Structure 1
């Protein structure tokens, strides 16, 4: 039976299996939408991954990830741009809906977060001609403020949308509930994103209380404190009706379970909690 409206970000089973096996398990459960990571694609080979996608009629709700623009030296920033151009080409080959951008944090020993954000905006601006020519939308993913120093200096949906407005067509946002659920301005910014037609992806999991690890202790939907149905309602009211993409990093729980069990649970919780 086809599971409509559900995508699996393959990070959810990255510890258990590679690209081809993950696809096989998703198809077994009636899931035809996925979002792979670049290292998973590289391990399989880009051409083979594209063949698997085409042969199975898969929809890619995104490719993870581009970004990490700030660097101390200009050469480092240019190196990042080169890698992002390759990521855009990979997304185009795979037919991904968007390239997700985790924008990067403070370079070196810098304490200048405003400067880092300028580097991010300048980096995306430099990428845009290539992305537009390739037909690949760029989705800025604001990350929770706990990642501001090392992973993403864009931390609210408002900040991401301000960049989208400044940059113009071809740039939008990936709304990951794990990163934005706490934001008191979230409802207003989702509505704003909808008016801008800037919602390119909707990622789901849950926030555990307490959280034992800043990166690898995400919860399965329904196990935490996020109002998943409420956020989904707002996103759909804003005009986005794409698949909800499950993305769970869970070193001590879900990555230790059989992949089939994880995907089975994703389907059950998607139907009951989302």
Structure 2
């Protein structure tokens, strides 16, 4: 099962893209979750060529969404095109928070639904699957009005499963008492697009976004969640996606080795 391991690029945020790909290839890691910003910096066509030559595949591209921003639909169409050129089967969507000055949470979620209605057929034409990512409720106001897997599945429901799926991210969903039932539903509806793992540690840092813990350092039942998505029929890549200042300060090869070690210990069956 170690062949399912994928290194999400943001886990080694400051490791240059060519080094990420070379480091993964050297460690016999064949999957990497890419982010649009470093890909744009290195060059979209150059990145696609780099991956092909190294024998490393893009397991996802992050991110689209943020549908409350001006020009969001045009930017998301570009993101779909970028994913297609990179060979990434999944474009991760973070919905965006409330518009400035608004308290209309239902209206913001309606806006996400309207955007998906526009984007899903477009993504389908490119062979890219949109993956709605629910984020922990503490991010609801400014980053993501989709806070539970159930909400993500309701938003996905009007669209073909090959066009719109969901992300199961252990950091964001571990707390939800309905998470396991919704993982089962996602499997039955063929909506499981990508599985991402990180741990939850407390106290959270002042910069909450960088509060994800290294696998095994927190309170998340990582193996149980992995077993749940497997039981629901998901057999795709498992991305290690950790936003953590201490990891970012380490050399990339050290972080990759550490993630592989913890992945074996805490995600795979013991």
**TM-score tier after normalising by the smaller chain length:** over 0.9
CA displacement, residues 143-195 of structure 1 (integer Å, 9 cap, x when unaligned)? 00000011100000000001111233410101110000000001100000000
Output aligned runs, 1:63-212, within 5 Å.
63-71=61-69, 76=70, 79-169=71-161, 170-212=163-205
**Which of 18, 21, 29 is the equivalent residue of 2:16?**
18
Shift of 1:243: 1.6
Alignment correspondent of 2:6: 7
CA displacement, residues 6-35 of structure 1 (integer Å, 9 cap, x when unaligned)? 0000001112x2211111111121111001
Shift of 1:124: 1.1
Q: Number of aligned residue pairs: give it.
A: 265
CA displacement, residues 95-118 of structure 1 (integer Å, 9 cap, x when unaligned)? 102000011010111000100000
Work out the CA distance in 2 between the residues paired with 1:228 and 1:190.
Answer: 14
Shift of 1:203: 0.3
Work out the CA distance in 2 between the residues paired with 1:205 and 1:267.
Answer: 13
Gaps of 5+ in 1: none
Shift of 1:129: 2.0
Gaps of 5+ in 2: none
**Which of 254, 261, 267 is the equivalent residue of 1:261?**
254
Verify the 8 A CA contact 2:2 2:264 in the aligned structure 1. no
What value does the CA root-mean-square deviation take over the aligned residues?
1.1
Work out the CA distance in 2 between the residues paired with 1:173 and 1:29.
Answer: 29
TM-score norm. by structure 1 comes to: 0.94
CA displacement, residues 30-70 of structure 1 (integer Å, 9 cap, x when unaligned)? 11100110001101100100001111222221000000012
CA displacement, residues 191-213 of structure 1 (integer Å, 9 cap, x when unaligned)? 00000010000000100022213
**Which of 211, 215, 221 is the equivalent residue of 2:209?**
215
Q: Please state if 1:246 is matched with 2:254.
A: no
Work out the CA distance in 1 between the residues paired with 2:137 and 2:151.
Answer: 12
Verify the 8 A CA contact 1:19 1:36 in the aligned structure 2. no
Shift of 1:3: 4.2
